Amino acid sequence: MSKVALVTGGMGGIGTAICRQLSQQGFTVATTYSRPGREQAWLDEQAQAGFTFHAYECDVTSYEACVAMAEKIRSELGEVDVLVNNAGITKDGTFKKMDKTNWDAVIGTNLDSVFNVTKQFVDSMADRGWGRVINISSINGQKGQFGQTNYSAAKAGMHGFTMALAQEVAKKGVTVNTISPGYIATDMVMAVPEDVRNKIITGIPVNRLGKPEEIAGLISYLASDISGFMTGTNLAINGGQHMC
Hey, which residues are catalytic here?
A: 151
One-letter amino acid at 223 equals: A
Q: How far is CA 34 from CA 108, 115, 184, in A?
A: 13, 17, 23
Beta bridge partners of 175: 132
Q: How far is CA 216 from CA 71, 97, 124, in A?
A: 27, 35, 25
One-letter amino acid at 228 equals: G
Compute the 3-state secondary structure of the chain and give helix, strand, coil in percent, each to the nearest 5: 50, 15, 35
Q: Say how many C-beta atoms besides its own lie within 10 A of residue 124's C-beta.
A: 15
Q: Say how many C-beta atoms besides its own lie within 10 A of residue 165's C-beta.
A: 21
Output the furthest CA–CA distance in the chain (Å, rounded).
53
**For helices 39-48 and 13-24, angle between their N-to-C axes, nearest 10 degrees:** 50
